[in-house]
Amino acid sequence: MIEIKENGFNPESIVQNGNKFLTGNGYIGYRGMLDEFGKAECVGLNIAGVYDGVQGKWRETVNAFNPLYMHVFAGDTSLDVRGENTVSHETSLDISRGIFSRKTTYSVRGATVTLRTERFVNMANKNNICSRTVVTSDKDMLFVFRVGVDTDIWELNGPHFKDVKTKLTKNVIEATGVTQELGRKVRVACEYSGEVTQFDNGFGLITAFVKAGESFMLDRLAYVSVDDEKVIRYESYDQALVEHAGAWKKLWRDCRMIIDGDERGQLALDYSIYHLLIIAPKGDYSIAARGLSGQTYKGAVFWDTEIFMLPFYLSALPDVAERLIKYRINTLPAAKEKAKYYGYGGAFYAWESQDGYDACSDFNVTDVFTHRPIRTYFKDKQIHISADVAYAILEYYNRTADDKLMLNGGLETVLECAEFARTYSYYNHIKDRYELLDVIGPDEYHERVNNNAYTNYMFYQITKRGVELAEKFKNVYSASAVKKLKEWVEKLYLPQPNADGVIEQFDGYFGLEDVSVETVRGRLAHPREYWGGSGGVATATRVIKQADVIMLFNLYPDLFPTDIQRKNYEFYLPYTEHGSSLSHCAYALTACRIGKPDDAYSAFLDSAEIDLRGGGKQWAGDVYIGGTHPAASGGAWMAAKAIFGKKGEWT
Ligand code: BGC
């Protein structure tokens, strides 16, 4: 058993613990919540790949009805952790088997009453969630369990369901609803091991008389299904648990990485891998930036998946890697449509993909002073997304030599991404070179810049390799289009290191104000003020949100000698705010290659412990922006592999 534990109850931690103690199976995510909690505490049962948009609001994945709602009473005393009669409380997550538990002791009119609950989202059955509750008392006690499928759910941009109905059949309470936009039918049912009485509006009562010193056990088997999908049911909690635990055992056998003699690092790494395992897709969808922890970032798929998470799956779970790659191949038509919309050829992938279509808003942030929306250009200008997708396909191919996938859309996708960059580029007649102007690199604080080094090099690399493969797999792409790409890429401008060995992040970056992150932070007039965009505190300075040039070195470690990588690392690190959870791991990876193991290790921990430590931004005004950080988990895994793979070099 590998356990994450917390003693005591702190109301301030409720929302963060929803992320920290998240359980999931790649299809369903269930936030780390207590049974008596509801909408106000952000209970969430998130379903992968089921999107809904309500007019005028952001489209997002849906949170389904909560089958595990339960409020227990001992006599007429409420057993709510927040009540005055709570004596002790303990929460834990066994990450070796994906089992969440709580144990709370109450003092009820002279009796000591204990409530224990455990639950798991079944890793062996994507539609199933199970829970077992055991109550004990040292005096005779009548327990009443108020149970039900709670349809009053937490949603960021809902309500996503219409025609919501509940019913009780034997000991099964069921809630059904239909999504507003696409009419998808969601059904959540919960089967109880006790008799449900007094059913009313989704809720009913189960009663049990427990003798002093004895206990009572209540099991709940819940099933979540979409569009009348058939679900496999269990006879008992124990039967489901055996299957679930077996699936976890196999996963850890395939995926665990051992770090000798470092308990803290090992736990942080195990926890990161745990998060990657609970979001690994079970179907033809991909992974959202906040995994299955909720609706933040609209449940959309970013470059996070290809660049930060894919390496783990490629190494440990190749089937999952293939699914992720196929998601991009299958959404090629949408990427071509997007390119066409902007007047380009090829494929311009969605910055925030929902089934391939861009969910990214034109106005991603709000001015904290005027409350007016701020125009951001992530969707329009963060073109590196297409290079990232192509890079991932090529990595997949390098690893698997899967010719079939390349012939069935893989290579075409790579070449369409290259073609997009070709048509996007500008030919500079004076310098006789192609340039990529008006883009946003990984550092989102500097929008609409020219010749972002990351972007130019990435397109250069994927085009070169794509052309090579097109010569191998003839007839995948038209010969004349390949020829054009070949000529174009030879003239694509690649920013070179300056006399100090530093590659300029984009044209004119060196001319920006040379100030530290702390100075820029000190200039904030409001703690939630946006740093980037047209008038942010970082915009006119060298301060960057996240690894940019440094990220390029991680993807193509042989492109520049170690000495150049070191000079860039030393140059850019002090300017990096790490305002994105994707940043620390990027520095960790470069630190490994340039002989800075201590820096690498602490950046690895910053990445791996992000959801253990909590902190970070949870709210932006009234909007919840928290959730888990799977890209940081993937980055932590890569960093651990790089650091501990070189253990001999540590002193
Ligand atoms: C980062 C992006 C990232 C996105 C989702 C943003 O804050 O700047 O690079 O893709 O979050 O994680």
Using one digit for the tens of pLDDT, what is the confidence trace for 45-68? 999 999 999 988 999 999 999 999
pLDDT tens for 402-437 read: 999 999 999 999 999 999 999 999 999 999 999 999
CA distance 164 to 174: 10
CA distance 267 to 332: 39
pLDDT for res 260? 87
pLDDT tens for 207-221 read: 999 999 999 999 999
- Of 146, 153, 235, 150, the C-alpha closest to 191 is 235
Contacts of 107 (CB under 8 A, 6+ apart): 85, 87, 113
Contact between 559 and 553 under an 8 Å Cβ cutoff? The reply is yes
- Which residue's CA is minimally distant from atom 7 of ligand 1? 580
Contacts of 448 (CB under 8 A, 6+ apart): 377, 381, 438, 439, 440
Instruction: Look up residue 279 and give its two tokens.
Output: 């979001």
Helices (H), 203-331: 237-255, 263-277, 303, 310-316, 318-330
- Of 242, 304, 300, 282, the C-alpha closest to 97 is 242
Q: What is the dihedral of CA 610, 616, 622, 625, to 10 degrees?
A: -40
Q: How many CB atoms lie within 10 A of CB 621?
A: 10
pLDDT for res 647? 42
CA distance 455 to 450: 10
- 631 in contact with ligand 1, CB cutoff 6 A: yes
pLDDT for res 527? 87
Q: Which residue has the tokens 């004349």?
A: 480
Instruction: Look up residue 165 and give its two tokens.
Output: 């109905």
Long-range CB pairs of 86-91 (<8 Å, 24+ gap) are 86/9, 87/112, 88/7, 88/8, 89/7, 89/8, 89/9, 90/5, 90/6, 90/7, 91/5, 91/6, 91/17, 91/21, 91/32, 91/34
Q: How many residues does the chain have?
A: 651
Give the distance (Å) from ligand 1 centre to CA of residue 343. 26
Nearest-atom index, ligand 1, CA of 290:
12
- At residue 86, does pLDDT exceed 80? yes
| β-bridge pairing 86-94 and 3-7 | antiparallel
Peptide bond into 159 cis (omega under 30): yes
Contact between 455 and 441 under an 8 Å Cβ cutoff? The reply is yes
Backbone angles phi, psi at 84, to 5 degrees: -70, -20
Helices 318-330 and 332-341: angle between axes, nearest 10 degrees: 40
- Of 174, 264, 213, 86, the C-alpha closest to 636 is 264
- Which residue's CA is minimally distant from atom 5 of ligand 1? 289
- 303 in contact with ligand 1, CB cutoff 6 A: yes
pLDDT tens for 327-343 read: 999 999 999 999 999 99
Ligand 1 pocket test, pick from 389, 444, 583 with the greatest ligand atom count within 8 Å of Cβ, gives 444
Kindly state the average pLDDT of the residues 189-198.
Answer: 98
CA quadruple 323, 325, 327, 330: dihedral sign: negative
Contact between 248 and 123 under an 8 Å Cβ cutoff? The reply is yes
> What is the gyration radius of the CA atoms in the chain, in angstroms?
26
Amino acid at 648: G
pLDDT for res 650? 37
Contact between 518 and 512 under an 8 Å Cβ cutoff? The reply is no
* SS3 letters across 23-87: EECCCEEECCCCCCCCHHHCCCEEEEEEEECCCCCCCEEEECCEEEEEEEEECCEECCCCCCCEE
- Of 379, 384, 429, the C-alpha closest to 551 is 384
CA distance 588 to 609: 14
Kindly state the average pLDDT of the residues 81-96.
Answer: 98
- Which residue's CA is minimally distant from atom 11 of ligand 1? 580
pLDDT for res 513? 98
Please provide the average confidence, as pLDDT, over all residues in the chain. 96
- 289 in contact with ligand 1, CB cutoff 6 A: yes
Give the distance (Å) from ligand 1 centre to CA of residue 522. 23
Give the distance (Å) from ligand 1 centre to CA of residue 290. 10
Give the distance (Å) from ligand 1 centre to CA of residue 303. 8
CA distance 488 to 424: 12
For residue 522, the surrounding DSSP H or E stretch is helix 517-522
Cα→Cα distances 71→38, 206, 207, 265, Å:
10, 11, 12, 38
Cα→Cα distances 627→31, 35, 56, 499, 548, Å:
10, 20, 24, 43, 24
pLDDT confidence bin for 621, thresholds 50/70/90: low
Ligand 1 pocket test, pick from 290, 297, 304 with the greatest ligand atom count within 8 Å of Cβ, gives 304
DSSP tally for the chain: helices H, then strands E: 20, 26
Beta bridge partners of residue 374, listed in sequence order:
365
- Which residue's CA is minimally distant from atom 1 of ligand 1? 580
- 302 in contact with ligand 1, CB cutoff 6 A: yes
Beta bridge partners of residue 169, listed in sequence order:
172
Give the distance (Å) from ligand 1 centre to CA of residue 153. 27
pLDDT for res 475? 87
Q: Which residue has the tokens 């124990």?
A: 238
pLDDT confidence bin for 623, thresholds 50/70/90: low
Q: Work out the percent of the chain whose per-residue pLDDT is above 90.
A: 93
- At residue 646, does pLDDT exceed 60? no
- Of 57, 38, 73, the C-alpha closest to 156 is 57
pLDDT for res 1? 85
- Of 217, 215, 210, 177, the C-alpha closest to 194 is 217
Of 19-28, 516-525, 528-537, 618-627, give the lowest mean pLDDT range: 618-627
Q: Which residue has the tokens 């991404």?
A: 417
Instruction: Look up residue 158 and give its two tokens.
Output: 């809902």
Give the distance (Å) from ligand 1 centre to CA of residue 447. 14
**Beta-carbon-side half-sphere exposure of residue 410 (alpha carbons within 13 Å):** 25
Contact between 590 and 552 under an 8 Å Cβ cutoff? The reply is no
Catalytic residues: 444
Q: In 151-196, which ranges are E strands?
A: 161-169, 172-179, 185-192
